[in-house]
Amino acid sequence: MALAKKWSQKGHLAMNEIVTREYTINTHKHIQGVAFKKCAPGVLKRIQKSAMKKMETPDVHTDTSLSKAVWPKGISHVSHYVHVLLFRKCNEYEESHQLYTLVSHGPLTTLKNLELMWMRTKQ
């Protein structure tokens, strides 16, 4: 399936290209003032919301590795930073949206000197 390439005004590729991106999300600022029983579920919702905004797809799927990375110490002790990989993929089902975003966990050894990385993937 050949995807049409459109260029936006800023010079970036349009949302209909298949892309992989890496982000480090500060989860600590999302759980300030939240009840401790709602910390981990709230972080997962915020990660999905930011993935929807950054990848510009309304359909977001969460990988089990991300859930295991957010929940290792329980519901209230969430790590302050989570490194995620966002994959924009084509959907095989014709009834739903054309593209969807898969969010998975990216392991890190250190959180120093991180930069945003973009990778274009071809099918």
Mean pLDDT by 10 residues, the chain (123 residues): 38 66 87 88 92 90 92 87 90 75 86 64 56
pLDDT of res. 19 = 86
Cα 110 from Cα 19, distance rounded (Å): 25
pLDDT of res. 9 = 42
pLDDT of res. 51 = 92
Cα 77 from Cα 13, distance rounded (Å): 38
Model pTM above 0.85: no
